[in-house]
Amino acid sequence: MSDGGDGLRERKKRRMYSALSETAIGLFLEKGFDAVSVAEVAAAAEVSKPTLFRYFPAKEDLVLHRIADHEGEAARVVAEGPDPVEALRRHFLAGLERGDPVTGLCDHPDVLAFRTLLYGTPSLVARAYGQVERDEAALAGALGGDLDARLAAAQIIAVRRVLAEENWRRIAAGETERQVRPDAVAAAERAFARLAEGLPGLTARPPK
């Protein structure tokens, strides 16, 4: 019985996180991030301000929650096989195939509006950069944690970021997801091939 109760509480908690985040993002998209107070978000979500802060200690976290499941993703992916670069290549290509927003290859209006909100708000950019730094540190740890691992992680995270930014740039300029996809796939293949050449013998291993 306790397992069922714990599971129910966890599901309720996840639903609350999502409900608060989506309510906030809707308001931020409508009025602008800086024009909406935490009190307004709490009122719209029909919770108290202290309750909201128990879930999201910072206003920026209400937005970043939508992409929180991607944090540490690269580190998790390298555990899928003995070749980290190949595992990450397959993962990125799979993301392109399904139009995952994290790859930049998504032209859904809601996704484009969210990206404009995220990268058009300085405090959100700073918060997102913190997530990138944690991703890099987690990947470095998964690769062994030494200097070579940190250098490799920095290169891998940078490649993924630049590939996604190029896809977003073209879509923001008016191209469709379908138009961009062939070039996005070719660019990813080239980029990961160069990573493989530059990082021979790279393996996932516990930190020393």
Residues composing the chain: 208
Expressed in percent and rounded to 5, the helix, strand and coil fractions of the chain are 80, 0, 20
Q: What is the pLDDT of residue 204?
A: 81
Q: What is the pLDDT of residue 207?
A: 62
- CA–CA distance, 14 with 92 (Å, rounded to integer): 27
List the chain pLDDT tens, one digit each, 208 residues: 445 667 888 899 999 999 999 999 999 999 999 999 999 999 999 999 999 999 999 999 999 999 998 999 999 999 877 899 999 999 999 999 999 999 999 999 999 999 999 999 999 999 999 999 999 999 999 999 999 999 999 999 999 999 999 999 999 999 999 999 999 999 999 999 999 999 988 888 766 6
Q: Do 125 and 33 contact (CB within 8 A), yes or no? A: no
Q: What is the pLDDT of residue 1?
A: 43
Residues with Cβ within 8 Å of 111's Cβ and at least 6 positions away in sequence, in order, are: 101
Both tokens assigned to 21: 């985040």
Structural element, H or E, at residue 143: none
Q: What is the pLDDT of residue 4?
A: 61
Q: What is the pLDDT of residue 162?
A: 98
